[in-house]
């Protein structure tokens, strides 16, 4: 696991750390790593970057549509953490999760796309109130 996603020193019961530069996330229970996944974050080249900072999961939803001015997509899982930003599966994504170049101009409007098998696990593991930290 990359240094930026190290759980060492974490005091939260559950923490999701996302690295934009590495296009990955780590799940921590206190200072123990319990999961890892490649992800896709916001397309920064088009002004849709994923926000940096620390928030908390505020809802756990299933089988819903996410909508915006020019899109309407179905997701199996939705875990929002601030405004319209959250974690979700993305069956329409046509390049590898974790690709540290393609995400810059493709697909995400700022949400964090997680591969379906890992999203299944994330949804089961996360609780409302789980801390989310996003780093460059």
User: Catalytic site residues?
Assistant: 88, 111
Check if the beta carbon of residue 132 is closer than 8 Å to that of residue 14.
Answer: no
What sign for the dihedral angle of Cα 49, 45, 103, 33? negative
- Round to whole Å and give the CA distance between 9 and 116: 29
- Round to whole Å and give the CA distance between 14 and 79: 14
């Amino acid at each position: 696991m990359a240094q930026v996603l190290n759980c060492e020193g974490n005091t939260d019961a559950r923490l999701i750390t996302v690295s934009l530069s590495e296009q990955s996330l780590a799940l921590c229970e206190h200072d123990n790593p319990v999961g890892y996944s490649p992800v896709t974050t916001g397309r920064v080249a088009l002004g849709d970057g994923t926000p940096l900072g620390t928030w908390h999961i505020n809802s756990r939803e299933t089988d819903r549509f996410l909508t915006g001015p020019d899109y309407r997509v179905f997701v199996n899982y939705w875990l929002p953490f601030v405004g319209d930003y959250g974690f979700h599966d993305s069956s329409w994504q046509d390049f590898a999760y974790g690709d540290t170049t393609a995400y810059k101009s493709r697909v995400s409007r700022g949400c964090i796309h997680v591969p379906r098998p890992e999203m299944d696990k994330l949804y089961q593991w996360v609780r409302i109130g789980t801390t989310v930290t996003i780093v460059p």
